[in-house]
């Protein structure tokens, strides 16, 4: 029996956590909301279809619109995209995180996990 084994646990993130997703094929940026996240990647909800070529994206984590929280820009690999009734869900895996970036992400996740 195959089992979906991930390197890091996924966490549902509080609603309203935003990112700006920049992919070369789209010639611009797309605003997206974080659905869930791990130390290895994240799933996003967005209105416009993403065409990631050559399978790379730049993700700018910006937190809440009203937050003064510091920003983090990271590279990610495009993993999947699914069309939903209202928009798209896409998954991305982070690429070559430094120790500082990994630490920042762990702290971001701890501060923003959705209450059960």
Tens digit of pLDDT for each residue in 14-68?
A: 877 878 877 655 567 788 889 999 999 999 999 888 876 567 788 887 766 555 5
Domains by residue range for the chain, with CATH: 11-112 (2.40.10.220)
Q: What is the mean pLDDT of residues 64-79?
A: 74
Per the CB < 8 A criterion, the answer to whether 62 and 18 are in contact is yes
Which SS3 state, helix, strand or coil, does residue 99 take? helix
Q: What is the predicted pLDDT for the residue at 98? A: 94
Query: Measured between alpha carbons, how far is 12 from 33 in angstroms, rounded to an integer?
Result: 12
CA dist 110 → 12, 76, 84, 91, 103 (Å): 11, 21, 28, 20, 11
């Amino acid at each position: 029996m195959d089992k979906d084994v991930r390197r890091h646990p996924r966490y549902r993130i509080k609603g309203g956590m935003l990112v700006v997703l920049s992919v070369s094929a789209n010639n611009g940026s797309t605003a997206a909301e974080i659905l869930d996240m791990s130390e290895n990647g994240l799933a996003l909800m967005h209105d416009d279809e993403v065409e990631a070529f050559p399978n790379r994206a730049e993700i700018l984590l910006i937190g809440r619109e009203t937050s003064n929280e510091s920003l983090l820009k990271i590279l990610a690999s495009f993993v999947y995209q699914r069309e939903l009734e209202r928009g798209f869900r896409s998954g991305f895996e982070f690429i070559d995180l430094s120790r500082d970036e990994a630490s920042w992400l762990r702290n971001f996740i701890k501060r923003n996990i959705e209450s059960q």
